[in-house]
Structure 1
Amino acid sequence: MLQRSAQLTLLIVLLTFTTKSSNSQTYCVPSHGNASYFLSSFSTSGAHVNINNPSGLPPGGVYYTDFSSSQYVKADPGDAVSWSMTTSQYYTYKRIWVDWNRDGDFVDVGETMYGSNVVGATIAGSFNIPSTARGQYRMRVQIRYYGSVPSPCGYYLYGETEDYSLLATTGNDLKVVDLEKGIYCSGSQSVKALVKNEGNNNITSFKVNASLGSTNFSTYNYSGTLQPDSFLLVTLGNHSFSTSSIDTLSLFSYDLNSGIDSNTLNDTLTGVYRAGLTGTYTIGGTSPDYTGFSKAGIEMAQKFHIEEKDTITGIAFYLNFPQLGDSIKVKLYEDSSGPGSVLAESNSYRIVSNAGRSYYLEFSCLEVLDSGSYFIALEQMSARPITLGMSKGNFRSNVAFAKDTSGLWSSMESQGLPYLFSLRMILDQYDLAQINLPSSLCSNGDSLVVSAIPAGGIFSGIGLRNDSIFDPGLSGVGSFEIRYTLLNSRGCVDTSGHTIRVDTVPTVSFTNPADLCETAAPISLSSGLPAGGVYSGPGISGSNLFDPSSVGAGSYALQYRYGDINGCKDSTAAQIVVVGAPSVSFGSVPDVCADASSFPLFQGSPSGGVYSGTGISSDSIFDPSSSGVGVFTIDYTFTDSLLCSGSASQDVVVNALPLVDLGDDLELCGTQLDTVDAGNPGSTYLWSNGKTDQSFSVNQSDTLWVQVTDVNLCVGTDTIVVNNTGVCVGVNELNQLGARIKLFPNPTEGAFHISILGLEGLVQVEVRDARGKLIRSKEIHTTGNLSVHPINLMNESGGIYTVSLLHYSGTVSYRISVK
């Protein structure tokens, strides 16, 4: 509902609402129209002086408040100012501006201190004060409904604006705040000034010089302690004011703490005074600010400008002592470089009191005005003079006009009167019909039911069906005005309009991604156009990653949704096929022996894959001589035409050959026996003499070999030579001791061993040459178990020697051949 109670005061500003800052700059005053969006609180922290303003709901529907004279943050140049604001609604945009160059606006580079379109009921941040900043600056804080981008000025339906002061100061800073307000009467009057310590240090001394024009008339010397942010009213001296002259008073502070003021921008203040003048002084003026314009049978008009479409209900003004019985009316004119055609006028009003007072005359019906310039006017319908208040302080040329009895309009400055009339237009002091439609819609959006408050009117415009449904499919793309016509309670026809923009829906495409194996790594989807949209569907994680392993084999529908800068969205689908990994098997491989030849593996299925592992070469050849003995796991990997792969494993066993050792060759004589043993119990045996036993006795000369086949069918072999030299020489050659005795090697290079098994006790060993001479003698002790004893004949000459073993049970002798 457009409930707007702001009054545009034309004697204060020409084009927009204005306010005056403490640095004498004029600032635009934005206006807002709805009570549901406002600043609940704004505060700063970490500064010397901070703002803490829980302002809450603005009183009386006034959604601009100037706190710059009462609320300020004070910090050093270069410091960071931390801030926090809370709003009544979550969906609001926030802005903070500071007019660093003091030019009366907030649009220069570097003056937006916070400008993010982040929504939220409470938000905080910080900004840095420029290191060159000195003195007082205007700071503007604003919220707006998030559908409208904030700007420092203008009108908008939802939001609030608050102004504060920011004081950047270091060290010593004394500000001349104000001259004493009030009307100076004729004669000698005391002149007073208000000063403030805006620095960070205590001020113990300063001087203020007062001058009238270019003539000094007083100097004030201060001694004491003026703490930071404290005020002091000082008396500067007396001056004699006159009703016949205009006095310009100037103040200048200096010699602060016997040193230099860190901010000289606020050290001087000038005011214009006149004794008996009605109203307050104006800083910087050169003549009285207020007067009255009196003339008979005249019409007085003033120009104004509105930024957005609005409604005028009437005109307010002040008359000085009008004549009883006079008739007046107000009018609204087009702007044609002066008042043009009449757009509206009130009924005539008859003056019933000659007291000076304010008047407000309404138009019969409200006028809805587009943005632009217009003139409002007061007409004196009687032949007697009427006096309308005027102001000079904010004069603008070609703004105030007067029409004489001949019907000609002329500007006031052309009549030698550079003033503005004190006429005010009154805007929208009733519930203007509001059309409930968004500002934009996408062409694929749903139809909307159009409504308005108050109800009962008629809608018209492109895109409407059934008189109250807006269909973007019917309107097409473009901007369309929906009009609402209502006969109100006054009998006037109210017409409201709302422009809705229908935006094109983006054309979205999504090419089918290539088929994937279920074992493949996740892929980044990128075939959706335009780029920058969002993918969704089975297997999608994050914003655009598709993981085939999370869904398995199959065909899946994926969605791609894209939204443009207007918020219009569309989506489309694509198919992605996830191919299952091939089924791979690996049959058993027969065990092999360590001496087997290399052989190809063929047990993997499907064929055509690759074998890998210990002992593998050329992708499929297994070589036992390379792998060695043991159990080896071989992998078989098959990759199909889509590069999907599967694998299987199988163990290959390489068995060791049986270890066969028949011992050293045998030397026998006469009937002497010995045993050959192939070992490896449990195996099968094949001897060169046809025997199949593990062991047997030998006496005859022969060369014997054996093949031993173990349980793994691995074969080991060995060969032994048996040499029987004939009749043994010496006594007891038949080994009457009943023990197993063996000399080896025989023949020998000189060193040999005697092995004894089954003989227990002391044994005397004697070695004699062919002539019977004792060459060696050695005692050995036996236990019955097998024992081996070395004999060394390395220093003896070659030939046949007799080795005798003397035991208590008997004596045996053997021959040994030394080469």
Structure 2
Amino acid sequence: MATVVAIPLLKNITVNAQPTVTLGNFTAVCANAPSFTLSGGLPLSGTYFGSGVSSGSFDPSAAGNGIKSITYKFTDANSCTDSASSNIVVDSVTTLTFPALANICGGSARKAINIATPIGGIYKGVGVVNDTLFNPVLSGTGTFTLRYVFTNSFGCSDSTNQTIGVDTIPIVSFTIQDSICVNNDSLNLLSTPAGGVFSGAGVVGSKFSPVGLNGRVGINYMYTGANGCFNSVADTIRVDSVTAVAFAIPDSICFGSPAIPLNGTPMGGMYSLNGNSYTNTNYSGLMANSVDTIGYSYTNAFGCIDSTVEYVRVDSVTQVTLSSFGSICEDDTINLTNGLPLGGVYSGLNVIGSQYVGDTSGTWRISYTYTNQFGCIDSVDSNILVKSKPKLTLGSVGLICENTSDFLLTAGSPIGGIYKGSGIVNDTTFSATLAGIGMHSITYTLQDTNACTDSINFTLTVDTVPIVSLDSFAFACRNQGLLNLTGGSPIGGVYYGTGIIGSNQFDPSIGYGNYQVGYKFIDGKGCQDSLMKPIIVDTLPQIVSAAVEDICQNVGLLTLTKGNPATGNYEGLGIQSNGQFDPKSVSVGIDSLFYVLESRCGIDSLKVKFNVLAAPEVDLPPYGRICDAQEGLALTQGKPAGGLYFVDGVESTIITARLGRANVDYVLTNASGCTDTASASIEYYSNPEITVVGDKAICAGDSARFRVKEELVTYIWNGDTASSEYFLNPKDMILGENLVKLKGIDSLGCASEVMVRVNSSLCGFSVKAMPNPNDGNFALIINTGTEQEVDIAVWNTHGQKISGFNTVLIAGKNEFLYNLLDSAPGMYILEILVGQDLIIEKFVIK
């Protein structure tokens, strides 16, 4: 039997039963909850340990947010100790912000106060309604504290305060007289306290003007105090209308003119003349070249007065003169300028405005009337002599056609005069071409020995020539015989030109070419016109040659080489509407088309044979995406084999790894020389770079924390998908080196793997058997930095437990003496269990 003793060597060690300790679960608490006494640990009278624990109470604010481990430790009467742990969750309290509230005025509208963040809480305090509004009517004036209370998703509540001031509003007043006439001067508006703002119709600053108003008019006075609060008061004033007076009199009169009645309205008013009362109801000018002032005023039932003033200028009359006129010819017109002063009006028989027209020979009277600048009139008369003029006649001119040559005019009598009008050249000649078709007014003018001139108007008519039309002639074949010509209009004309026989036949035997043929027609007035059109004489077509080269079936639409002559076209299977040939429309092998040459005189064709060659059909499967940009790719995917590969246009047998996109073309040419191409693209991406930062060494019982610097889509830690941050639990680690495998996948689906090493050790803990080897008597020395509970056992290599006990190590050096003299020589194993960590120490008994 093995014996274990502590120093001194002669003292026995009693191994007592270890107490069984349990600790119940804790409910979650808020970070701002008050401290509370911990309970749930059994047996009672133990001690609680952990973050935020003090004297058996737990303070959430001291512990901080998160999951906190609470340990309950109990030591029995034998000083044997056991402990149990349980987690308590400290839920965070949401930080609240309640911005400052501006002061408002008493009696103002309700103000929204829901500006605290985060939203979703409730507001409390004097004047708060509906949890979101503040009503200054309910609160009265003063400063009030409002509280905002918010409960987060954990059920944790917090609150914050803010103040709001309700200011008093000023007391204001003003008075104004009861009524005012609309044409009165402005009133000064007086108020208490001064310094506010008046508003309303007719208000300008602190004055009221009744101009343009009528009836009751409201005036408002608003005053804003030093605290920004305002109040207003209103009053009214009656604006009485004035009775509009009207008084019409000419602006001016001529001295000595009849008296003018005075007609002021409404009746019953008072007149004045030049500032003096005037009781006469008629007015006449007192003195020439003067201005009289006539006033009229009227007072209505409201006592409001209106008046008007008219000014009358009394003007003098200007004396006029008119010198004698010279003689004129009949129908002549002269400008009348003999009257003085200038600017008067002439009148009399045949006077038009300031001109006189000598309509009939003889002596005639002309009057001149002058109105001066004042409108005063004077007039005088004078005579004018009108002389007779020559009498003209006109003879016949005759027929004129549109295409008549220019001719000399001799129709006017007596001769010696000149002609004017449309188509007249050099005063004597008429040009029908210049005048154009239609009726043209011509004037013939002659001056006699009295220097009097007469003229006569007549009309020359230029008749139209017949409108000749000629349809285009159809082509003629050289060998078809005489052609009867038609298409000339109007009918009844004759055809003329090369090849014409008689009046309407054409002989095409004159040979191949283009011939001009005319048609002439004379109308009933004797005017004629003609028109010419070509006749084309053609011959039968003839093909000289045509050939088509062999064609690969996959070349697409093809423009075939024209034959000789090149004016022909190919016809047959595969010929498209645009004249191109589609080889896919026919079978592989010998095919034929017809080369057709067509003219208006006939058709010629030639059968052309050629070979349609079979083309290869190639395929190149898509490459898709390749993540590892370090690996190249051999090009062997094209089918059938034997073709050439081109990477981005350059012939190659591999795709060299590179980042980005590459285009691959596979080209295969068969024995017939026909080619087909297939294309595909490949995209290279580099695998993601992964940098893991975190713990490299930890103490046993602690978690290891790792974080990936790069942003990836998927993080797989030791086979489990997680986030960029990973915690390795103590239960998943052993003492010594632990490996963590991370596979990271980026947004392109490319992945990289890294291994992270973390070393777990019992910090400050060492175990040693001395001496080793030994004869069965040896000391087990354990050094530890803290008080710890351990289980110690000895095992042989057959798995048999030799000895074992539980004890609590003190901080520092702990020594245990073993007496295993009865044990057989060989290797033995010391197991020291510290929490969940097992330490192995081997020793040998000789």
Shorter-chain TM band: under 0.3
TM-score normalised by length of structure 2: 0.25
